[in-house]
Structure 1
Amino acid sequence: MTNSNREWIELWPEGAPWAQGTTDEDIPAIMAFPVGEQGRGAVIVCPGGGYGMRADHEGEPIALWLNSIGIPAFVLRYRVAPYRYPCALTDVQRAVRYVRHHAGGLGINGAKIGVLGFSAGGHLTASIGTQYDSGNPDAEDPIDRQSCRPDAIIPCYPVITLKPPFYHEGSMLNLLGDSPDPELIERLSCETRVTPDTPPTFLWHTADDEGVPVENAFLFASALRKNKVPFDLHVYETGRHGLGLAEGDPHVATWTSVCGLWLERQQF
Structure 2
Amino acid sequence: MNLQSFYIGDYHAEVTMMLGEGEPSKDGRPAVVICPGGSYMYCSKRESEPVAYRFLEKGYRVFILNYSTIGTMIEKEGRTPSRDELYQIASMVEDDKVLGSEFPNPLIELALTLVFIRENCHEFNVNPDKIGVIGFSAGGHLAASLGVHWNSEWLKEAVGSEPRWFRPNFQVLSYPILNYVLNEEIANERGIGDPKFMSMAARMVFGAEQKPEIVERSIVKDFVNEDTPPTFVWHTLQDKLVFIQNSIEFVEALENNRVPWEFHTFNSGEHGLSLASEITGRVDKRAQQWNGLMFSWLEEIIH
Which category describes the TM-score, using the shorter chain as reference length? 0.7 to 0.9
The residue that corresponds to 2:287 in the other structure is 252
The residue that corresponds to 1:111 in the other structure is 129
2:209 maps to 1:179:
yes
Unaligned 5+ runs, structure 2: 71-98, 188-196, 278-282
2:60 maps to 1:71:
yes
The residue that corresponds to 1:22 in the other structure is none
Aligned mate of 1:144, from 120, 143, 161: 161
Aligned mate of 1:44, from 33, 37, 41: 33
Unaligned 5+ runs, structure 1: 20-25
The residue that corresponds to 2:18 in the other structure is 33
Equivalent AA in structure 1 for residue 265 of structure 2: V
Could you tell me whether the CA contact under 8 Å between 1:89 and 1:128 is conserved in 2?
yes
SS at structure 1 position matched to 2:63: strand
Deviation of 1:31 (Å): 1.1
The residue that corresponds to 1:190 in the other structure is 220
Distance in 1, matches of 2:57 and 2:207, equals 39
Equivalent AA in structure 1 for residue 116 of structure 2: Y
Distance in 2, matches of 1:46 and 1:148, equals 15
Distance in 1, matches of 2:203 and 2:288, equals 31
Deviation of 1:162 (Å): 2.2
Deviation of 1:134 (Å): 8.7
Q: Tell me the alpha carbon deviations over residues 152-198 of structure 1, each in whole angstroms, 9 at most, x when there is no partner.
A: 00110001012132489354331102431222211111111100110
Distance in 2, matches of 1:236 and 1:220, equals 17
Distance in 2, matches of 1:207 and 1:87, equals 31
Q: Tell me the alpha carbon deviations over residues 87-122 of structure 1, each in whole angstroms, 9 at most, x when there is no partner.
A: 101100001111111111100101111000100000
Query: Is the deviation greater in 189-198 or in 67-76?
Result: 67-76
Equivalent AA in structure 1 for residue 240 of structure 2: E
Query: Is the deviation greater in 50-59 or in 28-37?
Result: 28-37
Note the 1:7-26 alignment, pairs <5 A. 7-11=4-8, 16-17=9-10, 19=11, 26=12
Distance in 2, matches of 1:112 and 1:172, equals 33
Cα 1:134/1:212, change in 2 over 3 Å: closer
In the superposition, the TM-score normalised over structure 1's length comes to 0.86
Distance in 2, matches of 1:95 and 1:58, equals 18
2:280 maps to 1:262:
no
SS at structure 1 position matched to 2:209: coil
Aligned mate of 2:250, from 201, 213, 220: 220
Could you tell me whether the CA contact under 8 Å between 1:120 and 1:171 is conserved in 2?
no
Distance in 2, matches of 1:118 and 1:234, equals 15
Note the 1:86-101 alignment, pairs <5 A. 86-101=104-119
Q: Tell me the alpha carbon deviations over residues 198-255 of structure 1, each in whole angstroms, 9 at most, x when there is no partner.
A: 0000000001100100000001101101101000000101100000010021111111
In the superposition, the TM-score normalised over structure 2's length comes to 0.77
The residue that corresponds to 2:260 in the other structure is 230
SS at structure 2 position matched to 1:234: strand
Q: How many residue pairs were aligned?
A: 250
Equivalent AA in structure 2 for residue 90 of structure 1: I
Could you tell me whether the CA contact under 8 Å between 1:160 and 1:190 is conserved in 2?
yes
Cα 1:72/1:134, change in 2 over 3 Å: farther
Distance in 1, matches of 2:204 and 2:140, equals 15
The residue that corresponds to 2:140 in the other structure is 122
Distance in 1, matches of 2:112 and 2:125, equals 19
Could you tell me whether the CA contact under 8 Å between 1:160 and 1:219 is conserved in 2?
no
Distance in 2, matches of 1:234 and 1:257, equals 12
SS at structure 2 position matched to 1:216: helix
Cα 1:166/1:45, change in 2 over 3 Å: farther
